[in-house]
């Protein structure tokens, strides 16, 4: 796809109560705007009665013209929707504590062009990862957190998000619990990586817990952040096989690789507008 064509390519995502005629109405509105549909995926959830759709299309119309064509359909069906240029980079804040593996995976994939994100800042409650941020040429912000300073720290974080027009926050092994208020503000806009295949071994040293139980599979879970700790809507999960001969330390190393891949995949799908929320579940068009 040429740069000119890319500038005319859009991704439309929508959700609404399911009923007949949605696909026909959306396709008709896109036709009126002179769109050529390149890809279309849809899903009707029997559990919630909601309908979800993702469409990629090219057009000579402007974004405003395309929005105007779609607006009557949106109003008629009571849709929640978004319209974004294909490939437009999502402004993303990365947060980490002392572990570098997930942060490094995202930074490497972003620099290589795999992830359609822009990273204006990295935040940490420690200074350990400042060198990694410097290597990638991204401003590093040390915001220490203690029980007494948690509110002030989150105020600084909010100010940083506003300053950089942050659209997505990624907790790349950020080992601090975010307040309920901030979680609510970041609904559907913050992704966390959990170092186990949820729901499973929670709390401290999950790999050691898994080793003690003699598990044969370990994994990682990337999910949206909610006030319910580690119970947000799941975006992606991956597992790998282990056996009795592995040590807890080998579990940790293998788990780190899985964590990095799982989080990076979740960020990519979010940035490509492939993830839609359905209550406490997600619909992922991959």
Report CA torsion sign: 171, 176, 182, 188: positive
- Please check whether residues 62 and 97 belong to one and the same domain: no
Is residue 230 annotated as part of the catalytic site, yes or no? yes
pLDDT, one tens digit per residue, over 115-135 is 999 999 999 999 999 999 999
- Please check whether residues 81 and 101 belong to one and the same domain: no
Q: Which of 230, 255, 259 is nearest to 103 (CA)?
A: 259
Is the pLDDT score of 1 beyond 80?
A: no
Domain closes at, from 56, 85, 114 = 85
Which domain range does residue 58 map to? 3-85
**Mean pLDDT calculated for residue range 13-32:** 98
Mean pLDDT computed over every residue of the chain: 92
Q: Give the CB-side neighbour count of residue 222, counting CA atoms within 13 A.
A: 29
Is the pLDDT score of 203 beyond 80?
A: no
- Please check whether residues 57 and 79 belong to one and the same domain: yes
- Please check whether residues 69 and 95 belong to one and the same domain: no
DSSP strands (E only) in the chain:
9-17, 36-44, 50-58, 80-85, 90-96, 117-124, 140-142, 168-171, 190-194, 217-224, 234-241, 275-278, 281-284
Under DSSP, is residue 80 helix (H, G, I), strand (E, B) or coil?
strand
- Please check whether residues 14 and 94 belong to one and the same domain: no
Question: pLDDT higher for 5 or 96?
Answer: 96
Using 50, 70 and 90 to split pLDDT, how confident is the model at 228?
confident
pLDDT, one tens digit per residue, over 229-238 is 878 899 999 9
The total number of structural domains in the chain stands at 2
Strand order in the sheet with 234-241: 140-142, 117-124, 90-96, 168-171, 190-194, 217-224, 234-241
Contacts of 46 (CB under 8 A, 6+ apart): none
- Please check whether residues 127 and 196 belong to one and the same domain: yes
Q: What is the pLDDT of residue 9?
A: 95
- Please check whether residues 38 and 68 belong to one and the same domain: yes
Using 50, 70 and 90 to split pLDDT, how confident is the model at 214?
confident
Domain closes at, from 63, 85, 107 = 85
- Please check whether residues 142 and 78 belong to one and the same domain: no
Is the pLDDT score of 5 beyond 50?
A: no
Cα(1)–Cα(57) distance, rounded to whole angstroms? 12
Q: What is the pLDDT of residue 218?
A: 80
Q: What is the pLDDT of residue 35?
A: 95
pLDDT, one tens digit per residue, over 148-164 is 999 999 999 999 999 99
- Please check whether residues 116 and 205 belong to one and the same domain: yes
pTM: 0.90
Angle (CA) 198-208-257 rounded to 5° is 65
- Please check whether residues 251 and 171 belong to one and the same domain: yes
Cis amide leading into 199 (omega within 30): yes
Here the CATH number for the domain that contains residue 127 is: 3.40.50.170
- Please check whether residues 184 and 50 belong to one and the same domain: no
Here the CATH number for the domain that contains residue 17 is: 3.30.70.260
Using 50, 70 and 90 to split pLDDT, how confident is the model at 109?
very high
Domain closes at, from 60, 85, 110 = 85
Q: Which of 18, 128, 185, 230 is catalytic?
A: 230
**Mean pLDDT calculated for residue range 9-36:** 97
Q: What is the pLDDT of residue 122?
A: 98
- Please check whether residues 173 and 199 belong to one and the same domain: yes
pLDDT, one tens digit per residue, over 62-97 is 999 999 999 999 999 999 999 999 999 999 999 999
């Amino acid at each position: 796809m040429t740069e000119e064509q890319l500038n005319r390519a859009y991704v439309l995502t929508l959700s609404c109560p399911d009923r007949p005629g949605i696909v026909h109405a959306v396709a008709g509105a896109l036709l009126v705007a002179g769109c050529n549909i390149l890809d279309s995926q849809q899903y009707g959830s029997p559990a919630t009665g909601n309908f979800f759709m993702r469409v990629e299309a090219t057009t000579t119309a402007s974004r405003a013209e395309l929005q105007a064509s779609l607006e009557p359909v949106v109003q008629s069906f009571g849709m929640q929707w978004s319209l974004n240029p294909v490939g437009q980079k999502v402004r993303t804040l990365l947060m980490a504590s002392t572990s570098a593996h997930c942060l490094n995976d995202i930074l490497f994939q972003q620099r290589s062009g795999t992830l359609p994100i822009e990273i204006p800042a990295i935040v940490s409650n420690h200074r350990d990862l400042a060198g990694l941020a410097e290597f990638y040429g991204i401003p590093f912000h040390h915001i220490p957190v203690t029980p007494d300073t948690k509110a002030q720290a989150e105020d600084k974080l909010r100010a940083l998000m506003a300053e950089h027009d942050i659209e997505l926050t990624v907790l790349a092994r950020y080992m601090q619990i975010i307040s309920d208020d901030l979680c609510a503000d970041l609904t559907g806009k913050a992704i966390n990586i959990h170092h186990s295949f949820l729901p499973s071994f929670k709390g401290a040293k999950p790999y050691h817990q898994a080793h003690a139980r003699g598990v044969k599979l370990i994994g990682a879970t990337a999910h949206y952040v909610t006030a319910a700790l580690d119970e947000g809507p799941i975006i992606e999960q991956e597992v790998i096989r282990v056996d009795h001969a592995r040590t807890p330390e080998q579990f940790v190393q293998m788990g780190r690789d899985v964590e990095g891949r799982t989080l990076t995949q979740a960020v990519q799908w979010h940035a490509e507008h492939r993830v839609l929320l359905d209550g406490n579940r997600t619909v992922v068009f991959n």
